[in-house]
Amino acid sequence: MSTKIKFEIEFPIHASPHMLYQYFGTPSGLSEWFADNVNSRGEVYTFIWDGSEEKAKVLQERPEEKIKFKWLDGEDDKSFFEFRIEVDEITKDVSLIVTDFAEEDEVEESKMFWTNQIDELKHTIGA
């Protein structure tokens, strides 16, 4: 089994942490940009794309700061994906930091995927 590599990408976003968090800390927010539809039952979120679905469990959540998910069908115990909001203390600029894991030869592809998704998010919130 190959080891997945952890990567982080930072996206500056012109939105308040409170507003931004609604878009990845809630099923309705996630369904606006990340998947066709998202439902949740307790800690388990179901993401639906083109009729196929994947479930992820919330591992950690700090409202208005971060949420971390783990795909339930993932073979790799260490891999997760996380959305984290950081605010620069001086400039008050808001950044969204996405952490994810990918096979070594798929890291660039995964980064492209996230860049496209976050562009969609920015478009959705008009940031």
Q: What is the pLDDT of residue 1?
A: 58
Confidence of residue 104 (pLDDT cuts 50, 70, 90): very high
Would 31 be classed as within a structural domain?
no
What's 21's domain CATH number?
3.30.530.20
Q: Which domain holds residue 88?
A: 5-26+60-125
pTM of the predicted structure, to 2 decimals? 0.91
Please count the other Cβ atoms lying within 10 Å of the Cβ belonging to residue 83. 23
Tell me if 75 is assigned to some domain.
yes
Q: Residue 7 and residue 86: Cα distance in Å, rounded?
A: 17
Tell me the mean pLDDT in the region 36-40.
96
Q: What is the mean pLDDT of the chain?
A: 93
Q: Is residue 42 part of a domain?
A: no
- 86 in any annotated domain: yes
Nearest to 5 by CA among 84, 97, 106: 106
Chain-centroid distance, C-alpha 121:
10
Q: Which residue has the tokens 């069908």?
A: 73
Over the stretch 66-88, which tens digit does the pLDDT of each residue have? 999 999 987 667 789 999 999 99
User: Distance (Å, rounded) from C-alpha 38 to C-alpha 50?
Assistant: 12
* 114 confidence band (pLDDT: 50, 70, 90): very high
Angle between helices 107-125 and 17-25 (to 10 degrees): 120
Domain tally, the chain: 1
